[in-house]
A and B are shown apart, each in its own frame.
Chain A
Amino acid sequence: MAPVLAIRDLDIRFRTGAGELHAVKRVSFAIEKGETLAIVGESGSGKSQTMLAALGLLAANGGVTGSAKLNGIELVGASQSALDELRGRKVAMIFQEPMTSLDPLYTIGAQLVKVLRRHKPISRVAAREEAAALLDRVRIPDAAARLDSYPHEMSGGQRQRVMIAMALAHGPDLLVADEPTTALDVTIQAEILELLGALQRELGMAIAFITHDLGLVRRFAKRVIVMRGGEIVEHGAVADIFSMPKHDYTKALLDAEPAGRKAPVAADAPIVLTADDIRVEYEILRGMFGRRTLMVKAVDGVSIALRAGETLGLVGESGSGKSTLARSIVRLAPATGLVRFEDRALLPLSKSEIRPIRKTLQMVFQDPYGSLSPRMSVGEIVSEGLRVHEPGLTASQRDARAASALEEVRLDPEMRRRFPHEFSGGQRQRIAIARAIVLRPKLVILDEPTSALDRTIQKAIVELLRDLQARHGLAYLFVSHDLATVRAMADRIAVMKDGKIVEEGETESLLANPRADYTRRLLAAAFTGKVERVKGIEPSS
């Protein structure tokens, strides 16, 4: 049987300011009818570009050679109109960002109707009925009524379902799913994958599943391609690759889950931080003149305590208030309650009173691209805190301290004269860590420091953080939605949901015997790939 999509010797080059970038190097593979092929790789491996090129969706500065045949029809070099005829009808695509893939100005129904009528001569009314049926198919409850919703009225998971419905509108032979669950919470991730699997069985379409997450691959695909630097390094059945990976890179990827555990702290270590009954409330103005107000409780009476050298993992899904809690401790969010850091209550202090305390209370942010000022050199960024807290230092002393801090995070100190955009995400996060530790803090708040990074880099950052902690006796408040990372980092875990802590305990015992229902669901979603470690959950077939 002829494959749905046959790619042969596909080669992609981008013309950039710095010369030509060879993004994909003579890649060949095929997707059979009705199968799921996973394409795995880290950012920059060319996994998305390969599929985009096959569908004629490359950026304007990209050039393709080679061949990509959909049902025997050549796509490379095909005219726009020929591609338009195929896209949406024979092949459809869903993207990572369900927030931005839908037009915010139109209702879900209008967008679905437009897609349906694009390739099918049906009336508006008939299209609307079909749209409702599609929403029903992707299991959106009360589908007919939701047709009149706008994208912002739906949750991330629901939006992704709508995207899937759109992709399915014409019963495509091939569905290209480009990281369809990466932007979603783990429990929702699981639901979406389940839906895709069920739809595939119903409709018999092939799925090209692009992801960086090997855990998902194991659950979802039969065959896998591992890509790196624009080349396919390994290709085979999922079971084979997981049980006996041949290529070193595949082994590194499989092994990339943060491993090891943190050494426990002494029981008599002094308490550095106590937070008691913390509440953060936001007022949302409603009505035409904002007269009606709605109080949103982002953090609702949370208490935590942290010893010197200890790591508390703060776990929860988006909207659970974990980041808000972390930010309220460094006073980036307005909170009520009692925050005591080294015997000083922080919340009543004025801006200038709290300034000296900030030296020992540092924070590392999630987005390594957004947290470094783009017009400052790395040296200036790292030494900025010294400018504030040790004004006695000369410029050259500051520079020397910055260099040694960079060395501590294992970056070449010579790099301090460069600018943030010249670094990769992992290097930038190291710079952000250097900026925090240059002040020799006692407590560092880590707000999802590894979430924006590739798995292999996550692992290195986790090891670096543990190493710094051991060396300087730092206490960490580690905010994350990723249980695997938290397990490798934390002494204790607090699980947050809707602004409250639902469960708290020692890492090992909490992961082994979750008491709260929510924790159990979270664990199930996070560790299905490695089921053997979590009790009570059956591996999916």
Chain B
Amino acid sequence: MMRTKLISELKPRREITPSITGAKMMTGNVAAAWAARLAEVDYIPAYPITPQTEIVETLSQWIALGEMNAKLTFLDSEHSMLTAAGTSSLAGARVFTATSSQGLLYGFEMLYNIAGWRAPIVLVNVSRAVAAPITLEPDHNDFLSTRDTGFILLQTETCQEVLDLILLAYRVSEDHRVLLPSIVNLDGFHLSFTREPVKLPDVEEVRSFLARYNPPYPFRAGKPSAKGVAVLRPPLYSFYKYQMHLSSLNAIKVFKEACDDFEAYFARRYDVVEKYMVDDAEYVFVMMGSFTSIGKKAVKMMREEGLSVGLLKLRMVRPFPTQDIRRALEGKKAVAVIDQNISPGLGGTLFAEVSSTLYNVEKKPKVILPVIGAIGGKTLSVDEFRYIVELMMKYEQRGEPEPILLFREDELREVESLLKLGVGE
């Protein structure tokens, strides 16, 4: 874990990481820890869970060595961890914490509270599919379950993005036009335990990009305040929730401003969505997370074969970047939304959200194809992207698309042989 190597020694493929001089190899978890260190967070309430644990291990080590000046407390559960995260933020600390899957769900009640308290913490979620059946492998059900909490939700594709989006998350969350917490999501295993080249920004530059948190009404002896109090008049509750909603919408503009600034400081460009060969494409995949790298590879290969395909990656999930999605997808022949989550009885969460976003667009795509794939650690192959394009073309000709549940022949054979063992035949 601690062994790092300059990427210049590794001769990487230029097309994947075009500018990597001075980068270090590190896992997504270590990149997340570095972001907390560079953001000079004051407080880290923690609790271990796979595949997130390496983050709090790394931070524990730095603090124990005196390399990082922050207080880290291991709590008794994620529920307690998130409670402490929220209240410490209200006392004026910059707070970082991390969890995964079951841990996120165990502390779920507090997510709504932290957002309602307007406590701008940054929570890293390392995606892991939710039990039962229990597994360690990733998908996005844990992350997307938080979509109504009031958190700003950001999803990463690479280890570099993990580091960068955490820094951006603090900028956006702590902005008084927003003042809402953020979740930065990275896919378990594919990012958490995979080493990639990551450029570490200079600490002075980060300090300049990310000013110290200025809490509006922190707990102080000289200035008593009451927080989290009951509102028993129904219009008051609505008022506060509407405020949260409008502040969340502000986060789109604030994020874009911060991205401009980020580019000026660190020469990397981000936006709420990322368009990969989308502008002139007729058929577009919509997805997010580490598997977009596979999608981009498939798009590139199909482009070389003359197919007019592209990929729209969602980086921001809350607030939902409605206008950016509409602009990117209007006039397309067909769109396939690849969900790495499943809402049993409906299908994919992103499919529902992208479809409703496009409904009122005049030149909306003829077909929006719902695809469920890569849940619980199942992978996606380039062949599957080809298959999805074939289906987009087919349904564009005639009628209603059926929801697609991706399952390859080799996977089916593996399941069949395991089932045989399981039932003792």
Q: Do A and B come together as binding partners?
A: no
